[in-house]
Amino acid sequence: MKIWDSHMHSSFSGDSQTPPEEMIAQAQKLGLPGITFTDHLDWDFKEEPGLFDLDIPSYESKIQELINTYTDDNFKINYGIELGLQTHLSNRHRVLLLENDFDYVIGSLHVIDGVDPYYPAYFENIDPIDAYRKSYEAMLENIIAFDEFDSLGHLDYVFRYGPAKELGIDSYEPYQELVEQILKFIISHDIALEINTGAYKRGLKEPNPSFKIIKKYKEMGGNLITIGADAHSPEYIGTHFDTIEEMLLDAGFKAYQVYKSRTPYDMPLK
């Protein structure tokens, strides 16, 4: 069974040049049952102001037009967004979600103390162990401040950057308590855990979060998972979903979820 890709970007995002039609063409070629567009909205992105603003009216009307044109019994398109969390934006995000009818909302932490760990500056003048710890602390603080999203995006994504790989810093063990606090919070607030395969294109061998964290989530009673490749161009759509499916079955999951009108629907694995 092909898996619905619930995380992808198009030219509506500041870091993608791909017209949404090209993403659709590739998803149909792969035989996916559906896709959810989740273009970026990161207000107050200090490194490059305005880069991740989103023209929501144009975005909405374009996706609606695509839904009308390309949707049939075998292929569906949902309208989503990836919100960049920062505690001071919580109220703006609340209003945004009241005023817009998204199918699906990912809450992602891209900015910690005003800096995106994608940029090397994040790891300067700080012990690497502490730099990563700070990212989890910020995530916990952010989801407590704002929990009105459907799925928590790429939980340990900061480990894609900095010296974690060279130094062998695991994204779970040194931070077990913090990670479990985050998992406990999302489970008790009916927020899904996103399984994001975007790291494979950077040569990493695991999704975000790592297998260990996904297993822990299941052990703690977590049952809502969404799956996305975080593709910014067509060739990455659905990447490594076969690997992920095996791993999720191994961990005891029987289904994953796709959100439509902010409601989770079960999709069978295998």
What are the residues binding Zn ion (CB under 5 A)?
Answer: 82, 108, 230
Question: DSSP letters of 201-221?
Answer: GGT-SS-BS-HHHHHHHHHTT
Choice between 114 and 221, CB closer to Zn ion: 114
Q: Does residue 105 sit in helix, strand or coil?
A: strand
Least CB distance to Zn ion at residue 15 (A): 9
Least CB distance to Zn ion at residue 219 (A): 26
Q: Which residue is nearest to Zn ion (CB)?
A: 108
Q: What is the CA radius of gyration of the chain?
A: 17
Choice between 78 and 220, CB closer to Zn ion: 78
Choice between 106 and 131, CB closer to Zn ion: 106
Q: Does residue 80 sit in helix, strand or coil?
A: strand
Name residue, tokens 């040049």: 17
Choice between 134 and 176, CB closer to Zn ion: 134
Question: DSSP letters of 141-155?
Answer: HHHHH---SSEE--T
CA distance linking residue 242 with residue 238, whole number of Å: 9
Least CB distance to Zn ion at residue 24 (A): 17
Least CB distance to Zn ion at residue 194 (A): 9
